[in-house]
Amino acid sequence: MTEELKVAVDRRGTSGAILYTKGYINNVGGEEIASRAYELMEGDVRSLLLNLRETKIVNSIGISILIEIIEKMIDKGGRIGFCCLTPVIHKTFQIMGLANYASIFTDEDQAVKEMGLAS
């Protein structure tokens, strides 16, 4: 399994985007996600979905960074969603409080529909 996190961006309309992550969300991986997310926020993206289908591990530093991204998006009046989480990551997000400030969806279709992300 790969250690390095890879991020792919799919812009959805003018104010939406999906970030696809592959690999470990740790400090390095979290910063990579943050950098892409902040870039998108600067570009007026206010609905950001993170598809974690190919991420099996997230550590506490990665979670801190995800919380910062969520807070920044809330400050900008936007919304963050997560989808395709492994059961372990889903539970981790619930325990660590991410689920209180971000939406968690089972699959991408549901997330796209509920977050109003254009296809």
Partner 1 sequence: MHPFADFIHEMQQLERSPLASQGSLILDAFTRHTRFDNGALYLRDARGSELRLAAKSQQCVAPEILHGDAQSALQPSPKVVVPLQSNREAVGVLALAREGEDVDDDDVAFVRAGAAFLSTLITNQRLLQETREGDFQLKYRLWELESLYDIGLSIASTLNVDELADEILFRMISLTNARRAALFLRDASTGGFTLYRSFGDIPADFLEQELSEGKPLTFENGTVVAVPIKGSNDAVIGVLAAAERETREGGIGAFEENELRLLALFANQVAIALENARLHRQALEKQAMERELELAATIQRDILPKAIPQMEGIEIAALSRPARQVGGDYHAFFIRDGVLTALVADVAGKSMPAALLVSALHAVIQLLFAEGREIGEIATELNRHIHRWSAENKFITMIMVSIDPEAETIQFVNAGHNPAYMITNGRIDTMKSHGLPIGILPQTRYLAQTRPFPAGSCAVLYSDGITEAEDVAGEEFENARLEALLQEHVDCNASLVRDQIADAVDAFVGEAPQKDDQTLVVVRRA
Question: Which parts of this chain interact with partner 1 (CB under 8 A)?
Answer: 1, 3, 24, 26-28, 31, 56-61, 64, 75, 88, 91-92, 95-97
Q: How far is the CB of 50 from partner 1 (least distance, A)?
A: 17
User: What is the smallest separation between the CB atom of 86 and partner 1, expressed in angstroms?
Assistant: 9
Between 5 and 49, CB nearer to partner 1: 5
Of 81, 85, 72, 83, which Cα lies nearest the Cα of 103?
A: 81
Q: At closest approach, how far in Å is the CB of 108 from partner 1?
A: 23
Q: Is there a contact between 33 and 69 (Cβ–Cβ < 8 Å)?
A: yes
Q: In this complex, which beta carbon is closest to partner 1, that of residue 3 or of residue 44?
A: 3
Beta strands across the sheet bearing 79-83: 6-12, 16-22, 47-54, 79-83, 103-105
Could you identify the residue written with the tokens 């209180």?
A: 100
